[in-house]
Every structure is written in structure tokens, then in C-alpha cells.
Copies of this chain bind each other. A is one copy, B any other.
């Protein structure tokens, strides 16, 4: 059995029992080294294969090979939900027509949901996820989606909003979004959600301080009804109160 396991935002309390049991059921755990550290107590008695960033294909192929060659249960761990910009798709793609190996995807709480709970309730109406990383999706497609999402007044969760290699993607995204949404639209910035250093900042499109945003950050841009009350970000569901 090959498990692809979503670890949730970071702390063990936000993992599901299914994820904990899947890890317990594995003899070999494969993952990006940062995530392995998050669960080191859970995997300390197991064989583990930790690889660095941007080695996703090698990592997933290795996991498949190990499972097929050894017949042992192997787990590939991903932060958040393994099926959201995670490893689940790559495993199934690499497996192709091979049906010898059973793959079980164990879902997790993805970053947007973890951050939203801390911020209040920004995702109470229609929302979307857009990754600003153009490593695998052309920037033209990302831009088209930013236009579409802002035009539809979706609440927009931005994954991979800004990194050293892509310092200007967030400002580009905000300038597209501002063509449709008011510059006073509420924006929530979640940092290190589910970890000890967890914090969030509520601001607006026009006041957003980009230097607060990096790869450990999730950015949630409200819809036109989103507001802040008592320090929480709230998108109304539409009840008449």
C-alpha cells in the first residue's frame, strides 16, 4: 500500500486520525525534509527518505519504487492536503496504468482552511484557490484566472504568494484583482499557521505590506461584502439578521 498523507497546516492536533493511523501503518516514510521535521516524533522508528525542495518527481518515483520492490507500506507526506498542490496527483500520474500498487490518498486540512479558522470566517461564500507559482503553470494562465476570480467576486486564496525568486507576483496579482475589486477590500495574511509562531494580519488591498508575505504565508482576499469585526475577518453567508 502506498499512502499519500496530508499533514494539515502543521501541528499534530490538526491531523486526522486517519492520517495518524496511516503513518503508523507505514514502514517507510518519504517526504520533503521540512515536513519530516514537523512529524519527527511520529516517524522516529521508521525508515525515512527525506529529499529537498523541487525534487518532487524523484521523491514520488522513489516512493513508488520502494513500495513495489519491498512490498512494504510506504507513506508520502505532504503539508496541508496532499491533493491540493501536493503529491497525490504526481503519484497517480507516475503510476500511470500500473494497477499492482494500491494508492490511498488521506485528505488533510489545507492551508486556506487552517488560516481562515484563525482569521475568523472569510470563506463563508464562494471562494477559489490560485497558486502564484509559475514553476509549472504559465503566468498567462495564472493571470487569466486572477481576472476571472476577481470579476466573479470570489473570495480568493493565494497559495505561494511571494518568494525570493518571485518577489513581484503578489503585487502583479493585486493589480489585476484591483481592476475589479475595491482597493478597500479586506485582505487576511496568515503566517506560519498551525505552528508556534502562528499569526495573522488583517488589512486591505491598498494597505497591504508585501514585506510581510513569503512562502510560509497564505493570503485571503475577501469579496465585496467581507468586513472586520472584533479583529476577525468575516464574509457574510447572506442570512438576513
Q: Which residues of A contact B (CB under 8 A)?
A: 6, 8, 12-18, 21, 56-57, 81-86, 88-99, 103, 105-110, 113-114, 116-118, 120-131, 135-137, 141-142, 144-145, 147-149, 151-154, 229-230, 232, 234-239, 241
Contact = CB atoms under 8 A, between A and B. Distances in A.
Contact of A235 (B89, B127, B152, B239): B89
Q: Chain A's interface: helix, strand, loop or mixed, by majority? A: mixed
Nearest to A88: B121
Contacts of A153: 141, 144-145
Contacts of A129: 123, 126-128
Nearest to A56: B239
A120 B88 contact: yes
Contact of A57 (B89, B91, B125, B239): B239
Contacts of A82: 117
Number of copies: 2
A124 B21 contact: no
B16 A13 contact: yes
Given A90-B237, A96-B230, A108-B113, 7 more contacts: A6-B117, A81-B123, A83-B113, A88-B117, A89-B235, A93-B229, A105-B118
Contacts of A154: 128, 145, 148-149
B120 A149 contact: no
